[in-house]
Structure 1
Amino acid sequence: MKQREVTDKHHTTWTCVQAYAGVDSAAATAATERSAAADGGVTVVCTPTGGAQTVRLELASDWNDALSDEELTAAIANG
């Protein structure tokens, strides 16, 4: 499972992973397919350190490689 950590301007570190990634089962595969956005995007869950709330984002399927840290933290802030 690929995960990515970013730190925002408030010094909160966020760990982001694609929903259901790394779970190897038929149910997880079906859930991944159902959670994919109509435009081919995927659900990404970002969990913070500290008191902030977990954020669910709909991002492009190549989010882990294509988004800069600044773009990912902006998506989290707007999430």
Structure 2
Amino acid sequence: MSAIDEAKSYLGQLAPRISAKDRRVARVIRGLLADREATCTWTDDPEGIWHTDCGEAFEVHAGSPGQNGLRYCCFCGRKLAEGST
């Protein structure tokens, strides 16, 4: 078992016993350990809220996430891809 597989397994074992904040941190770490080509697609709604593939929402006041310098999802750690609604 590789070090990455061991880390993923350990995080999976911890998940039921940790707080919501720590689960978010664990999700980011798992995302960073995931396939480097994996992406998290963000799509915007008419109110300007961007919804993520990983189940979160983010408000951008002006422009798009990419126009504001976001390259990675701040929730899961995967590369950010912008989708259209």
Q: TM-score range by the shorter chain?
A: under 0.3
TM-score (norm 2): 0.26
Q: State the TM-score, normalizing by the size of structure 1.
A: 0.27
Which structure is larger by alpha-carbon Rg, 1 or 2? 2
- Per residue, is there more strand in 1 or in 2? 1
